[in-house]
């Protein structure tokens, strides 16, 4: 891929993943700006407290919000499948078992 002309230091390569296909594109790295002062303040607070850049903080927040859009039942399903795939130990979780865990024998 040919780098955009001009040699601008803000031009950075970015990888875009779609399924298994990965393409490389060039992006003009621009600072995050909002016309709304409250939005700007809300974006800067977690960035400052986490010690990350503003763009990274906004990206992280958006990813978390998209994750929350997936119902809990669907997010837990892979964990349940992994647990169900574990072999049966034959052990019984009775009172003696729990007492041994807590040190009360």
32 burial via Cβ count (<10 Å: 0-12, 13-18, 19+): middle
For the whole model, what pTM was predicted? 0.41
With respect to residue 78, please indicate whether it lies within any of the assigned structural domains: no
49-58 average pLDDT score? 86
4 and 17, same structural domain? yes
Q: Is the pLDDT of residue 52 over 50?
A: yes
- Residues 80-84 have a mean pLDDT of 95
Segments forming the whole domain that contains residue 9: 1-30
37 and 23 in one domain? Answer: no
> Residue 23: what pLDDT?
45
Both 39 and 64 in one domain: the answer is yes
User: What value does the mean pLDDT of the chain take?
Assistant: 76
Q: Is residue 40 part of a domain?
A: yes
In a domain, 47, yes or no: yes
Count how many domains the chain has: 2
In this prediction, residue 49 has a pLDDT band, given cuts at 50, 70 and 90, of confident
Answer yes or no: are the C-beta atoms of 46 and 39 closer than 8 Å: no
Indicate if 15 and 44 belong to the same structural domain: no
């Amino acid at each position: 891929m040919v780098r955009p002309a001009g040699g601008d230091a803000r031009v950075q390569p970015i990888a875009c993943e779609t399924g298994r296909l990965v393409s490389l594109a060039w992006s003009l790295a621009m600072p995050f700006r909002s016309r709304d002062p409250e939005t700007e303040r809300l974006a800067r607070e977690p960035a400052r407290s986490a010690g990350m850049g503003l763009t990274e903080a906004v990206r992280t927040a958006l990813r978390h919000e998209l994750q929350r859009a997936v119902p809990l039942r669907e997010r837990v399903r892979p964990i349940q499948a992994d647990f169900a795939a574990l072999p049966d130990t034959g052990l019984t979780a009775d009172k003696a078992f729990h007492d041994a865990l807590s040190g009360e024998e």
